[in-house]
Structure 1
């Protein structure tokens, strides 16, 4: 399985909203990430759905600054505003 296929599979969540958001970012923003940001994306994908939903749709912020920056980047890529 290629890295892209593996990531696409990991972007599949239990919530359709998260599926759309994460798959959109994988297709339209992931390639521009540097190595550290790609590692942060892997960390983000390991988080629980309710945590991700809070970060992306309810205005909550991760404690980790690198994750917080990535969350904002993904939100912007999808057209979500604060």
Structure 2
């Protein structure tokens, strides 16, 4: 389980330069991050080290994510955070 300080850094890392990413990433951490396994949490943390244009392309479906762990995490985030609710 992630400690509070690590969660705070994670929330800060979710603040991106694109609104489209902000509305996915931060709500995911606040609403669903605790339900992930430790390995999934670490994968999400690593995912956040990706560049914004790559994250945007993956989340919007403009290009496939070649890293299978990241691809699985993108799908998981999208399934947990429903926009327009």
Aligned to 1:27: 30
Give the gaps of 5 or more residues in structure 1. none
TM (norm. structure 2) is: 0.85
Q: Which runs of 4+ in 1 moved over 2 A?
A: 58-61
TM (norm. structure 1) is: 0.87
- Superposition RMSD on alpha carbons, in Å? 1.5
Give the gaps of 5 or more residues in structure 2. none
